[in-house]
Amino acid sequence: MFSQGFFTSQIEKAIGWARKYSLFQYPFVTACCGMEYMATASSHYDIDRFGAGFPRFSPRQADVLFVVGTINHKMAPVLKTIYDQMCEPKWVVAFGVCTCTGGFYDNYATVQGIDTIIPVDIYIPGCPPRPETVLDGLMKLQERIQHSRQEF
Amino acid sequence: MAEDSLTLTRLREKFAASILETHSFRGDDTAIIQPEAIVPVASCLKNDPDLDYNFLMDLTAVDCLNLGTAHRFEVVYHFFSLSKKHRVRIKTQLGGKSPQVDSIASLWAGADWYEREVWDMFGVKFRGHPNLKRILMYEEFEGYPLRKDYPIRKRQPLIGPGSPGQPSSK
């Protein structure tokens, strides 16, 4: 009954549980979505309930990259560098429709979805998304973290 | 009539040969002048104590490619006088081959970035500008995005699909 496989899966579960409830986020805020991000982070919606209340302003200390707002081609190499600087394990949340697809900025300046530059785990649509949507996205990210293979 | 506003009268007195057209619609004075005259005209607007245009409100350009005009570009200046509370719009018309006009950055420091923006977006050159380089787009960007003949679907990413050395995904 207490075979090695059983034991390993429980360790993975425990690590997943720990990881999903201590998300240090790096908010890469470029545009109006930042207002909704701040609303989500503040006391009324209180993102700290989900263990994600601690924004780090160094990518080297962060677990999840929140890309909040329009990314243009001039900014794209900067975003890629920030992503590269983050330690594993790391996740990326595309916050708002601009980061998901470019939104209505279908023009010469704007990146048509940040998934052309870096891998994205969770897409939160909306222009801007309401805090409830953000929290829903965050919970989906936690689910994803819990159920993914834990490397350690 | 509003046509007799002080600014337009003064400009017509001093620069009769350089003024192509003036009009004054509901109190908005406009003078279309020859591009060579922009520095003397702007300097008169700024330094004449009766006019005292001490504020350059806007400097932009229009691409007239599809408007059926003889000229390709218009560079538009909006001046305002904080003391006299009057304003004037000055337009110059430029050809499409190598559009250029003298810089007024030596008169209004604020013209520096406006002129860089017009250079960046429309490719209009400002002679005598202290630092005429792109202000919004990146240096690798080719062409001028607000020109009417810039392809509307053209993308120039620095990294990712479609960037130099990488094929487009679509």
Q: Is 3.40.50.12280 the CATH classification of the domain at A23-143?
A: yes
Flag whether residue B150 sits within 8 Å of chain A, measured between CB atoms: yes
The verdict on a CB contact (< 8 Å) between B160 and A111 is yes
Decide if pLDDT at B1 tops 50.
Answer: no
| Any domain includes B103 | yes
Residue where the block lists tokens 């975003």: A79
Chain B residue whose CA is closest to A114: B160
Bond before A89 cis per omega within 30 degrees: yes
Range of the domain at B97: 2-127
| Any domain includes B146 | no
Measure in Å the smallest separation between the Cα of B62 and chain A Cα atoms: 18
Shortest CB distance from A76 goes to which of B145, B150, B159? B159
> Bridge partners of B56?
B79
The verdict on a CB contact (< 8 Å) between B145 and A109 is yes
Cβ(A98)–Cβ(A125) below 8 Å? no
Single-letter code of the amino acid located at A45: Y
Shortest CB distance from A77 goes to which of B136, B154, B159? B159
pLDDT of residue A8: 57
pLDDT of residue B40: 93
Q: List CB contacts (< 8 A) between B155 and chain A.
A: 73, 108, 112
Please tell me chain A's helix, strand, coil percentages from 3-state DSSP, rounded to the nearest 5.
Answer: 45, 15, 40
pLDDT of residue A117: 92
DSSP β-ladder status, A54-55 and B100-102:
unpaired
Burial of A22 (0-12, 13-18, 19+ CB in 10 A): exposed
What's the pLDDT tens digit per position in B44-99? 999 999 999 999 999 999 999 999 999 999 999 999 999 999 999 999 999 888 99
pLDDT of residue A9: 63
Separation between Cα atoms, residue A110 and residue B142, nearest integer Å: 15
Q: List CB contacts (< 8 A) between B159 and chain A.
A: 76-77, 80, 117
pLDDT of residue A2: 57
What does the domain layout of chain A look like in residue ranges? 23-143
Shortest CB distance from A73 goes to which of B150, B156, B169? B156
| Any domain includes B140 | no
| Any domain includes B43 | yes
Q: Is residue A64 helix, strand or coil?
A: strand
* Predicted TM-score of the model (pTM): 0.84
b/e code A111-134 from CB counts within 10 Å (16+ = b): bbbbbbbbebbbbbbbebbebebb
| Any domain includes B138 | no
Cβ(A145)–Cβ(A91) below 8 Å? yes
Determine if residue A71 is left, alpha or beta; phi over 0 gives left, psi from -120 to 50 gives alpha, anything else beta. beta
Question: Which one-letter DSSP state was computed for residue A72?
Answer: B
Instruction: Give the 3-state DSSP-derived string for B124-170, with helices as H, strands as E and coil as C.
Output: CEEECCCCCCCCCCCCCCCCCCCCCCCCCCCCCCCCCCCCCCCCCCC
- Whichever domain contains B18, its CATH number is 3.30.460.80
Shortest CB distance from A77 goes to which of B155, B158, B169? B158
Structure tokens at B49: 């104590």
| Residue numbers of B between 38 and 97 with CB closer than 8 Å to A | none
The verdict on a CB contact (< 8 Å) between B156 and A108 is yes
Flag whether residue B145 sits within 8 Å of chain A, measured between CB atoms: yes
Bond before A128 cis per omega within 30 degrees: yes
pLDDT of residue B163: 82
Instruction: Give the 3-state DSSP-derived string for B110-128, with helices as H, strands as E and coil as C.
Output: CHHHHHHHHHHHHCCEEEC
Handedness of CA A98, A101, A104, A106 (dihedral sign): positive
Measure in Å the smallest separation between the Cα of B72 and chain A Cα atoms: 22
ipTM of the complex: 0.80
| Any domain includes B102 | yes
Per the structure, how many domains does chain B have?
Answer: 1
| Any domain includes B143 | no
Separation between Cα atoms, residue A126 and residue A95, nearest integer Å: 8
| Any domain includes B156 | no
pLDDT of residue A10: 79
For B119, list phi and psi in degrees, rounded to 5.
-60, -45
Task: Pick the residue of B142, B158, B163 with the most A CBs within 10 A to test the interface with A by mutation.
Answer: B158
